[in-house]
Amino acid sequence: MGQLVRRVVRPHWVEQGWIQNGNEYRGYYRTRFGSYEGAIVHRYEGRFDFFIYYPPDCLWEHSHNQCFVHLGGDTYRVHFSREGRTIDDGILAIEKILAEALSFVPD
C-alpha cells in the first residue's frame, strides 16, 4: 500500500505573497479584477490593524465603504465591526469587499 502524503496547509497570507517583518506585514489584497497594496500591523494577540493604499474609486459605492477610514494621502485603515480577526480573516474580508465593488464597474 502507498504512503500517505499529507497536504501542506499554508496560511492565506503566505500563499498570497505577503511578507512579514517583525509585527508588520506587507502585500497585496488580490482579486480577479486587480491587486491593491496593503499593510497589516499585529498590535497584540487577536488585534491587527489593516491598511490599504490607493483603493479603487468604486469602493465608495459599496455598502461597506464606511469601514475604510481615510488617514491622509492615499492611506486608509480598515475598521471591522468584529475584533479578533486573524490575518487571513482580515485579508479575505477585504478581498471580498474589493471584488464585490469591482464587479459592478462597467467595462
Using the predicted structure, report yes or no on whether residue 4 has a pLDDT greater than 90: no
Residue 9 has what pLDDT?
84
The pLDDT of residue 7 is 75
> CB burial class (10 A; 0-12, 13-18, 19+) of residue 39?
middle
Region for residue 51 given its phi and psi (left: phi exceeds 0; alpha: psi -120 to 50; beta: otherwise): beta
Whole-number pLDDT of residue 82: 76
Domain boundaries, the chain: 12-103
Strand partners, 99: none
What CA–CA distance (Å, rounded) separates 104 from 40? 27
Per the CB < 8 A criterion, the answer to whether 101 and 62 are in contact is yes
Report which residue type is found at 86. T
DSSP 33-47: TEEEEEEEEEEETTE
Between β-strands 47-53 and 19-21, what pairing exists: parallel, antiparallel or unpaired?
unpaired
The string of pLDDT tens digits covering residues 13-58 is: 999 999 999 999 999 999 999 999 999 999 887 789 999 999 999 9
Confidence tier at 1 by pLDDT (50, 70, 90): low
pLDDT digits (tens, 9 = 90+) for 64-101: 999 999 999 999 999 988 766 789 999 999 999 999 99
